[in-house]
Structure 1
Amino acid sequence: MPSFVHEFPFDPSYGCTLEELSAIPAPSAPDGFADFWRARHEAARNVATEPEIGPLESERDGVRIHGVTFTSVGGVRLGGWLVLPSDGAVRQGFVVGHGYGGRQEPGPDVPLPLPAAAAILPCVRGMGARSLQAGIPDVSDGHVLHGIGSRDTYVIGDCVADLWCAASALHELVPELGPGGGAGVRGLGYLGESFGGGLGALALPWDDRFGAAQLTVPTFGNHPLRLTLPCAGSGESVRRYRRGHPEVTEVLRYFDAATAAGFLERPTLVAAALFDPSVPPPGQFAVHNALAGERELLVLSAGHFEHAGLADEVAALVAARTRFFGEWLGR
């Protein structure tokens, strides 16, 4: 197990060995779990996303990057980026989620895992300058509590829908990625880290447009366990809220990424950390352990933490991601 010098008032490894982490289960699904998510997915698929491409913002790594806007559930207009190959036909597509800090630019998600790929990098509602919404906090501690009193109003459900609508927008903007588009696509790829990893686990089981996914240090895994673990991330805000509102535990059962992973049959690569002050490792591993389809685990020594080996681990993750998507989505 890694040993890091830190100043957190708790142990970000939570005293767990890799063997113990690999045995952490997912909570059982509450009544109507699958029906709840399938209904939300159907509603999102019926949204007219009306995507619009903005001017070229940059060109690098063999791609052109444009701003993009599209409509999501509730008529909310969201922003983000559209990535297109500089030359040649599109052969693959990706939807790329973001962490709970939001997204101010495409950043390290470009270059994409496969050549000749297009991607949409949405900012979900309330997050990132391009998707700020009146009434929704843009800081993670407040955002994660928005609408949490009911499964029908919780913002996390709408953020999942934002990813589905982003996929619809990408298909409309790059029609060769859709059925009969002629690109020979084996489904979209999904990339998500931390917040985006948890959203991906919740979104992907219900959407057959995706062919494979890679989730890095995914959050929202095993809420009953997370509520017992102190952390420096958004989970701490939920822990504090739950002390005065114990009924929220029932709402959280419908937004458990590990529970959802039990319905996810697409090939999925999970990068999970042994030490993470922001997203407790037990929840990360619970997501991987519950996956119903082909799965692959890349163990990181730490997540959400600067350390001497970080550059090497990032390079190993990039290599694993490229190989993984090449195997499952490449032509």
Structure 2
Amino acid sequence: MVKIGNVELGDFPLLLAPMEDVSDPPFRAVCKACGADMMYTEFISVEGLIRDADKSVEKLDIFDYERPIGIQIFGAELDSMLKATEIVEQENPEVLDINFGCPVKKVVGKGAGAGILKDIPKMELLSKEIVNRSNLPVTVKTRLGWDHDSIKILEVAKRLQGVGVQALSIHGRTRKQMYTGEADWSYIAEVKNNPDIHIPIFGNGDINSPQKALEYKNRFGVDGIMIGRAAIGYPWIFREIKHYFATGELLPPPTLEERLDICRKHFLFSLEWKRSEITAINEMKRHYAAYFKGLRGIKQYRMRLVQSSSSSEVFDILNEIEIAYAGTEFIHEY
């Protein structure tokens, strides 16, 4: 049984990675329904939180059906991180997660996210102080290092474990790589298999099929897998991996009816939760291509969905897809 503090996650949990402008409550809802064991909010700026910025505060929204869930914060200044920790605790998530891995320039430029990989002692200090201030289990998500010449992830893991961090999720790329190239899980395995490491180690990067998930589980020995981009528009990835683990067989891809059902539920929740109809419409656009991947001729409908400007128009197009492709079988290519 994998545990973070007293939070039980099962024998080999599948985690939904925190993704900016993606892993909001509507998206998390469909991933939970498809088998995600633990999820995280979008990463939240501590500076935004302590200034009560609407966009940051909105990201604190969590719901009981999502549990266990972690709220993820990012920042570089100790005082702000500690004030944000107190705000997060009021929302009562299971876990407080610190983002030390985001490679985006505007985050890194402030010394936050992956920017702190240039200053491991500061990473250790921030983590220590947050652990001491928080009543929640504190976890960290990070990368292998700033670049290939400065990979010190084993040292990082030991330091973070030493100050009380209770789990570590490692993306198998450096900051310099961003999302290019192939994630190198050999460094993640080095951390997990080191005799001095006792906290759960979760691997992240490039898991996009049940076969690869099982291969990496067996090959690298991690405690669980964190899935990000492969779940966008395809939350069934969690269900399919679990089935493959249990039976060695691949599930058939979701039917048209399943895809439309999940897509509609996702959009309805977005309309309910977002601050405006147009925000919900715009933020759904990134998901349409994956929801209907594999349908010949779908491009014309996808373009119309992306160009739509009202919820009624979106639902009309989805109804057209249902009629046009009735009885169509999908072939999902991972």
TM-score with structure 1 setting the length: 0.30
**Which is richer in strand?**
1
TM-score with structure 2 setting the length: 0.29
Larger relative contact order (Cα-Cα within 8 Å, sequence gap ≥ 6): 1
Query: Whose Rg is larger?
Result: 2
